[in-house]
Amino acid sequence: MKGRNSLPYFISKRLSAHRNNSFTKLISKIAIGSVALGVGALILAFSIFYGFKEGIEDKLFLHVGHLNVEKFTMNRSKEEPPVNVNNSDLYNYKEELPHVKNVYNYAHKWGLLKSNEEVAGLLIKGLSKDYQIERWDKEIVAGRFPTLEVEKNGAKEIMISKSLATKMHLKVNDDIIIYFIQKPPKARKMKISGIYSTGLEDFDDMVAYGDINLVRRLNNWGDSLVGGMEIIVDDFDKLDDIGTEIDEEYVDVHLHMRSVKDKYAHFFDWFHMLYNNVWIFLIVIVSVAIFNVISIMLILIMERTAMIGTFKALGANNNLLQKIFIFDGIRMAVKGMLIGNGVALIFGVIQQKFKIIPLEASTYYLDHVPFSFHWDTIFLINITIIVLTSLGLLIPSSIVLGISPIKSIKFN
């Protein structure tokens, strides 16, 4: 069996190494190039998609948790009714929650920000000390994150977005006055501790970050009252299953849990649309690449008609002859795949490091084209190409079945 398989492989290797005809060399290079282009384009397309998805998700999860738990209310305001965490199994047993990395408390408060020149609406999100502020390191453009739950009455400092700072002509360490619309109205003198930029207009245009104790004092809440709790899970792909388990076991009946996928569905709908577009692109590119290989292999077989006739006259069967050309086609496909993989990976690494292709953050949420290599996807792309190419090569290689030894030798 080994000898039978090695003979067609050896012959195909010799054919590939001795393409003396300039036209044959050219179309062989075209076949290799078409596969390289297809594989490279697919790897880049999926890597850019995953880069966009992960980059935007990372920014989104700075603003909100994977899961949100608060008291059920018909009020559409961002300000939540208070929840007592001392009576919450979710918070009291947070260290035991399955597949959970972090649980933290928050509370929102609307206000009007007044500087020397401008007035703007502002939604302050007060956070507890459980919040992992180091996650903001890449998005803070100046200053620092406010201190959390250090002062009993709340730190009198907030972090605002770059867009809001530009609009209000503010910078780090500037003093501002925030008016809180409530009964009775209250005003607080605050300091800008930091300025952030995530490019997500839903948040950057109005959300500022501060100490949850500040919101508690404004609302006359006790130390155990919060607006809600947010949960960060360890595997976002399993969010629905994790959320269902936590909701059934730990969330009290008077509380309501929502997934970030439901609360900010427009982001995930956009990801889904992009993913569908990438698959359409994959189908088109793979079809074109395979069609090119099949067409070129058909030309190469027709050019070798006399050789096929000679082999048949010497006793070679159709199976052996088919394998010769299938191996030849696979060899061209593998060369193209290696080139396509190499070019795509090198380009992706260069883009990751030097960010040579910029983007408009206000439109795409990111300031450069992102890349995220998923090796399982790259492996699947290569396997798909080689399998479909091998199956496609059965079409032109079947032509050898109808070639007559006498006619082909006489024709030559």
Q: Buried (b) or exposed (e) across 360-388, using 16+ Cβ within 10 A? A: ebeebbbebbbbbbeeebbeebbeebbeb
On the question of pLDDT at 376 being above 50, the answer is yes
Span 334-349, pLDDT tens digits: 999 999 999 999 999 9
Return the pLDDT at 1.
Answer: 42
Q: What is the pTM of this model?
A: 0.86
Compute the average pLDDT of residues 116-126: 89
Residue 191 has pLDDT above 90, yes or no: yes
The pLDDT value given to residue 368: 92
Q: What is the pLDDT of residue 56?
A: 95
What does each C-alpha distance from 239 to 70, 113, 245, 260 come to in angstroms? 18, 36, 10, 9
Answer yes or no: is pLDDT of 236 > 80.
yes
Given a contact cutoff of 8 angstroms between Cβ atoms, the answer to whether 293 and 35 are in contact is yes
Q: Cβ distance 73 to 254 under 8 Å?
A: no
The DSSP bridge pattern shows strands 157-161 and 186-196 to be: parallel
Q: How much is the pLDDT for 3? A: 46
Instruction: Give the tokens for residue 303.
Output: 């050019």
Between 407 and 86, whose confidence is greater? 86
The 10s digit of each residue's pLDDT in 93-106 is: 999 999 999 999 99
State the chain's mean pLDDT as an integer: 89
Residue 10: predicted pLDDT: 82
* Residue 404 pLDDT > 70: no
Res 161 pLDDT > 60 = yes
Q: Is the pLDDT of residue 411 over 60?
A: no
Pick the range with the lowest mean pLDDT from 18-32, 73-87, 246-260, 363-377: 18-32
Residues 6 or more apart whose Cβ sits within 8 Å of residue 279: none
Q: If we measure between CA atoms, which residue out of 257, 267, 205 comes closest to residue 230? A: 257
Please provide the distance, in angstroms rounded to a whole number, between the alpha carbons at the two ends of the chain. 33
Q: How many CB atoms lie within 10 A of CB 103?
A: 25
Flag whether pLDDT at 398 surpasses 90. Answer: no
pLDDT above 90 as % of the chain:
64
How much is the average pLDDT of 34-40?
93
pLDDT tens, position by position, 123-151: 999 999 999 999 999 999 999 999 999 99
